[in-house]
Amino acid sequence: MSRTVALWVTVGLLGFCVLPWYVLEDGLWSFEWLRDGYPFDLDYAPGLFLLLQGEKLWLAPIPFFLLLPILILNASKRNPLFNWILCIAGGLGLFYLLAQGFSIGIRGWNAEIFTQTFGDLGDRQFGFGYGAMLVGAAFLFFLTTGIAARGVVNGDVFVVGSIGFVIGLVSLFILYPVLNMLSSALQDNDGAYSFSLFLSKFFSDKIWGLHCVTENRSCGVAWNSLILALCVGASTTLLGLVFALVATRSGLRQAHLLRPLTVLPIITPPFVIGLAIILLFGLSGAVTTFVADLLGTNPTRWVYGLPGILIAQMLSFTPIAFLVLIGVVEGVSPSMEEASQTLRASRWQTFKTVSLPLMRPGLANAFLLGFIESMADFGNPLVLGGNYDVLSTEIFFAIVGAQNDQGKAAVLAIVLLIFTLSAFYAQRRWLGKKSYTTQTGKGDSGIPASLPRRILFPSYVLVAIWGSFTLVVYGMIVYGGFVEVWGLNHSLTFKHYITAFDIGFNDNGIHFKGSAWDSFWTTLKIAATAAPLTAAVGLVTAYLLVRQNFTGKHAFEFGTMLSFAIPGTVIGVAYILAFNVPPLELTGTGVILVLSFIFRNMPVGIRAGIASMSQLDKSLDEASLTLGANTWRTFREIILPLMRPAIVAALVFSFVRAMTAISAVIFLVSAEHNMATSYIIGRVENNDYGIAIAYSTVLIVVMLTAVSLTQLLVGKSKTGRRVSSANAQPV
């Protein structure tokens, strides 16, 4: 422990005495400050040099807390002073650092009460930089080391430090932005709190109006979003179940061809499906013009509104429901179905009373995913919404439109959050505390029951129709990038690809002349930065949840999974409101994009880690610890090598999601850090559909390559079961 304390004292002093205390104007990754007046220039000075020049005197107590642990470097951890001094130095130091950071902003005191109590400050401060971050980390690990010295979690420094680190990250980058957003909903344009103003915005007729029932007008955006999400959740769950049943229970030899369709929505930017729908059913769409010519009628704009959004979201999210349900369907114990048929139940009775009830958790999760994805979807409603307004697009226009009303955006985000959390609660109540366990440690050599005819043939028809429609839509995506002007001139051309991705040569070598290259390289860089960090945080959290027992474990797990329950639109608004001012000035930087990806995709790494680690016997850990290795070495040399499939899966999935994200990103991009999806949205708004589709096709190819390589590296697990001689083909 003394070595650990010495390490963090060194880190803290490095942050306070060497590195710039405040955020750098050129960005976190810039090192221009090393030759621009460092260390005496006030913009780049470390905390120590600021104090030596008589500036920022509120930093004076920080060295005291940093140096206090030196008193116990040579003391035994059994000495009562050891843990008390560490807890005092870490706890009070961290509290003071955050308190002074949140109390003083770019205009002096952030609250009028401080001005009245202490008088006008006459100074200001900016956001935390390298130095403050290292000092904050030192205080945090002083505190966790002191807590470990008191015997918490068997006095394991690594485990307690990891718990404190994850709690700190979740508190700072999930709880704080969300709570800050909730508080901003209560403020007026001058920053004064007004509960009556909040109520007037919350119960606005624009949100909850029922004009679609009483008169020929649109309903409020809350009802529009709820109706759409319920329809999408129900339809995607039904379609996903049908596809899963056909893939696993029909005996169809071509059923394996359904699985590639599950990859497409994961690697497709969210709004690209909407573009394909326009190419098919828009005013100049292929199907619209064909039907109009055939019937001798004028083309209409019927696809813009609820019908178009519903079709696009069903195409986007049905394969996700399929991914959830196929594992559940395969997991239903064949022995239970055989027992039902042995008792003379028909195939329909077996399916209705045995198979379907055991699929209930999968159905609930598939519906929940469809509901939340629909609520959070921004791209498809933006492209196809027409006059059908939903919460996600209203939040966007409240922030970036002429209104510039952050309070209204926060209120709309609260409504959206209420809907998603209510869906979580309803799902848990519906599942109840019943057991749905069908697989144990014993082998199960039963043959999966084939589908009854009343389900089989309608399923074939539905799969054939929807699968063909999906292929046509993706065919339109590819084809749309090669036509001159869709609906007017269908001459084949490479113009759009050349405009976006043209490459030339000059005196300096290769020159990327295309208009899309900047956003493409920025997206690759940020996604590649976020992916390993997402996987690391997720896998460490999974280790704590699976292998360790500590007080508050369930609350800890809920906090880490909260970002899944919060739609990306809400996260985007919350990050803008929270990180636009000191002490964390991140808006407009690449860091805020990386952080949003980490904490939006962190649950993926957690779940992948939990699933993989649950298969590892704890005796492996115990043997390592018995042989004298500490927990950190055991985790590094025993656990991590056995979790390579989970690591690769978390890395690639987080990379793919970062490449294709839009709901949170649309609020966080800047001119310097423009993402691929934001660039495509801009082209759509300018009616440059050719460039938008060409860029989307390139992204799909890049993502498909990444996923294919991952599947090649990881492979797939197989569960051995008997199959009938007829391959379970129903008679």
Q: Which of 570, 649, 569 is nearest to 610 (CA)?
A: 649
Question: Which amino acid is present at 402?
Answer: A
CA dist 8 → 48, 94, 207, 431, 489 (Å)? 18, 13, 51, 47, 66
Inter-residue contact 83 to 147 (CB < 8 Å): yes
Say how many CA atoms lie within 13 Å of 623 toward its Cβ: 8
> 388: which DSSP letter?
-
Token couple for 362: 């999968």
Parallel, antiparallel or unpaired: strands 483-485 and 489-492: antiparallel
| Residues of the chain scoring pLDDT < 70 | 1, 26-29, 77, 253-256, 259, 261-263, 266, 331, 333, 401-403, 431-449, 487, 565, 608, 611-612, 615, 645, 707, 710-731
Report the C-alpha gap between 473 and 471 in whole angstroms: 5
* 722/229 Cα distance (integer angstroms): 40
SS (H, E, C) 530-599: HHHHHHHHHHHHHHHHHHCCCCCHHHHHHHHHHHHHCCHHHHHHHHHHHCCCCCCCCCCCHHHHHHHHHH
Model pLDDT, residue 9: 95
Residue whose structure tokens are 């991705």: 501
CA atoms of 728 and 249, how far apart (whole Å): 7
Domain architecture of the chain: domains with CATH = 2-150 (no CATH), 208-436+445-474 (1.10.3720.10), 511-714 (1.10.3720.10)
What is the secondary structure of 236-266 as a DSSP string? HHHHHHHHHHHHHHS--GGGGGGTHHHHGGG
Q: In this predicted structure, what is the pLDDT of residue 731? A: 35
Q: Torsions phi, psi of 509, nearest 5?
A: 110, -140
Contact 163, 556 (CB under 8 A): yes
CA atoms of 9 and 7, how far apart (whole Å): 6
Give residue-wise pLDDT tens across range 611-632: 667 767 788 888 888 888 888 8
Structure token pair of residue 613: 């680690």
User: Which helix (H) or strand (E) covers residue 333, if one does?
Assistant: none
State how far Cα 294 lies from the chain centre: 46
Half-sphere exposure of 674 toward its Cβ, with a 13 Å CA cutoff? Answer: 15
Phi-psi region of 311 (alpha: psi -120 to 50; beta: other; left: phi over 0): alpha
CB 59 within 8 A of CB 51: yes
Long-range contacts of 459-466 (CB under 8 A, 24+ apart): 459/242, 459/245, 459/246, 459/250, 460/246, 460/250, 460/252, 462/239, 462/242, 463/242, 463/243, 463/246, 463/258, 466/239, 466/243, 466/318
User: What span, in angstroms and rounded, lies between the C-alpha atoms of 604 and 654?
Assistant: 8
The amino acid at 280: L
Q: What is the distance between the alpha carbons of residues 475 and 176, in angstroms, rounded to a whole number?
A: 44
Pairing of β 483-485 and β 108-109:
unpaired
Q: What is the DSSP secondary structure assignment for residue 25, as one 8-state letter?
A: T
Q: How far apart are CA 628 and CA 634, in angstroms?
A: 10
Residue 493 burial (CB count, 10 A) = 15
Question: Tokens 């002191």 label which residue?
Answer: 146
Residue 401 has what pLDDT?
64
C-alpha–C-alpha distance, residues 281 and 681, integer Å: 20
Instruction: State the Cα–Cα distance between residues 507 and 665, nearest whole angstrom.
Output: 36
Residues 408-431 as b or e (16 or more Cβ within 10 Å = b): bbbbbbbbbbebbeebeeebeeee
Omega into 583 within 30° of 0, i.e. cis? Answer: yes
At residue 305, the pLDDT reads: 92
How would DSSP label each residue in 295-310?
Answer: HT-----TTTTHHHHH
CB-side neighbour CA atoms (13 Å) of 119: 1
Are 250 and 450 within 8 A, CB to CB? yes
Residue 621: half-sphere exposure toward Cβ, Cα within 13 Å: 16
Amino acid 107: pLDDT: 86
Q: Quote the CA–CA distance of 443 and 440 in Å, as a whole number.
A: 8
Tell me how far CA of residue 443 lies from CA of 330, 438, 439, 535, in angstroms: 14, 11, 8, 33
Quick: pLDDT tens for 124-155: 888 999 999 999 999 999 999 999 988 888 88
